[in-house]
Chains A and B, each alone.
Chain A
Amino acid sequence: MFSYEFMQKSFIMGIMIALIAPTIGYFLVLRRQSIVGDALSHVALSGVAFGMITNFYPVYTAMVFSIIAALGIEGLRKKFENYAELSLAIILSAGIGLASVLISLGNTQGILSYLFGSLALITDQDILLVIMLGIIIFLTVILFYKSLFYMTFDEESATLAGIPTRPINLFFSILVALTIAISMRIVGILLVSSLMILPVAASLLIANSFKAGIIYSNIFGLISVIVGLTISFYLDLAPGGTIVLSALIILVIIILLQYFRSKITKPA
């Protein structure tokens, strides 16, 4: 399998994404913002279409589009505190509407590989991007770990404790947008948010502490990507789909294990 150069590249890229996406997803889920991934990926799609029409590298245009949308969402979040889902739905609709118009405008045959992900098209540029983003995200999470925890658990008290929540939130929004634009290369736009959420869902079922939760999310993400890529290579299936289904199977296994354990420990 690794004698193929594109598989080597896929694995480097996949492993980086397996660590990035669930890490970002972990914070999104715990802040009840898991739909942000969906909204931004639809906007990223219009970014891809725009890039194809204008002959810019679609990953870059997707990044720009989703960063703008992410900042928009963050701006609206405070304004419409009680209608947060509404502003997300608006952004999502804007993204998909714009995307379908742009796709119908011009030469966008390549769009399918962005929708479902593709291994054959990964470029060195993509790998460089994903490694840089990975480094930035790991440094951010490691250096600001405690502030991020406090903000995620209780943003109001974090503000009162003197944590600069506004700038951290803005920066975090940009990281979310970049994660989506880069992850779509392998898993595809339609499945990005699943990879951000499924490993986290599995982790939340078993984690007792914040630290354990983030570690489990990454482990489950890694297993999903490694298993998914391997299966997709040997059975010639779409990589994004096999990765996401692997993540789903992990989740189901954990749910079943918990179910049976509670059956055993609880006397009838």
Chain B
Amino acid sequence: MDKAIVKLENVSFSYGKNKVLEDVNFSIEEGDFVGIIGANGSAKTTLLKLMVGLLEPDKGAVYLMGKAIKDFKDYKSIGYISQNVRHFNPMFPATVKEVVGANLNTSRNFFERSRKKEEEKIYKALEIVEMGQFMDKKIGKLSGGQKQRVFIARALINKPKILFMDEPLVGVDLNSQDKFYSLMEKLNKEYNITLVMVSHDIGVITEKVNRILCLSRGRVYDHKPDQTICFDMLKEVFGNKMNILIHRH
């Protein structure tokens, strides 16, 4: 078995008759930091959902950690932060502690008090994202960037091997963006977590990641970030649609 942590083989996917991905092949290796880019509607979210098993491909196969996605049961080893995770009602009655703790011992009942050990785990996960002092705050009262960090902490609490993030930087200011990337570097290098993130900010992400997947017209193009070959694609992503892509992959 190879070291691929995620592998897609000839994957096609459609919503009804709308084919959004066609014959996609790539793999992600352990330790990678992968950026996924593409125009709005280019199926980035769909691709991510296929990788974590929220959607099933019409054709082809998805493997997670060497296992066919259907047989994959090691839920704790993957973290997924969806594109709309922050869009919950701000009145929702839940503390940061409750949200982050949700990923621990999902069988816990109403009266069982969370034990010291668990509180420590929650606190530790929050400390990694520098949100420790917000444990008992109501989650709806945090800022967008702070919520973002809480959801990263929720994903980190089980010490995942791989973390999928769908546009985590939308609505995050420049300063927090820097902090976000240094956090990503820490997770990638210190905690050995493979990272897969969708982003719109192509200029920045190409500097930070070691691989780029470009999505366009249902296809996925795999690049090293320093290869200029991707830039035609980026032009299209930026909206220069008149430029028809002619380069071969």
Contacts and interface: CB of A to CB of B under 8 A. Distances in A.
Contact of A161 (B91, B94, B106, B108): B106
Interface in A148-196: 149-150, 153-154, 156-163
A64 interface: no
B134 to A, nearest CB: 12
A211 B98 CA distance: 9
A150 B100 CA distance: 10
A142 B111 contact: yes
B75 A157 contact: no
A147 interface: yes
B154 to A, nearest CB: 8
Given A146-B108, A160-B54, A160-B78, A153 B91 contact: no
Interface string A106-150: 000000000000000000000000000000000001111111011
Nearest to B105: A146
A237 interface: no
A115 B33 CA distance: 61
A147 B106 contact: yes
Interface of B: 52-54, 73, 75, 78, 80, 82, 85, 88-89, 91-95, 98-99, 102-103, 105-111, 138, 154
Contacts of B91: 204
B138 A145 contact: no
Contact of A156 (B54, B105, B108, B110): B54
A149 B109 contact: no
20 contacts: A141-B110, A142-B109, A142-B110, A145-B108, A145-B110, A146-B102, A147-B106, A150-B106, A157-B103, A158-B102, A159-B54, A160-B54, A160-B75, A161-B75, A203-B93, A204-B93, A208-B95, A208-B138, A210-B98, A211-B110
B105 A153 contact: no
From A145, A161, A162, A163, residue with most partner B Cβ within 10 Å: A161
Contacts of B95: 208-210
From A147, A157, A211, residue with most partner B Cβ within 10 Å: A157
Contacts of A149: 94, 98, 102
Contacts of A239: none
Contacts of A158: 102, 106
Contacts of A53: none
A146 B106 contact: yes
A212 interface: yes
B36 to A, nearest CB: 18
A213 interface: yes
A215 B69 CA distance: 40
B171 to A, nearest CB: 18
Contacts of B54: 156, 159-160
Given A157-B102, A210-B93, 17 more contacts: A30-B92, A146-B107, A147-B106, A147-B107, A150-B106, A153-B92, A153-B102, A154-B88, A157-B154, A158-B102, A160-B52, A161-B75, A161-B103, A161-B106, A207-B93, A208-B95, A209-B95
Contacts of B94: 149, 153, 209-210
Contact of A143 (B75, B88, B102, B109): B109
B93 A213 contact: yes
A30 B98 CA distance: 15
- Which 4 A-B pairs give the minimum distances between C-beta atoms? A213-B93, A207-B93, A162-B75, A145-B110
A21 to B, nearest CB: 18
B106 A163 contact: yes
Contacts of B102: 146, 149-150, 153-154, 157-158, 161
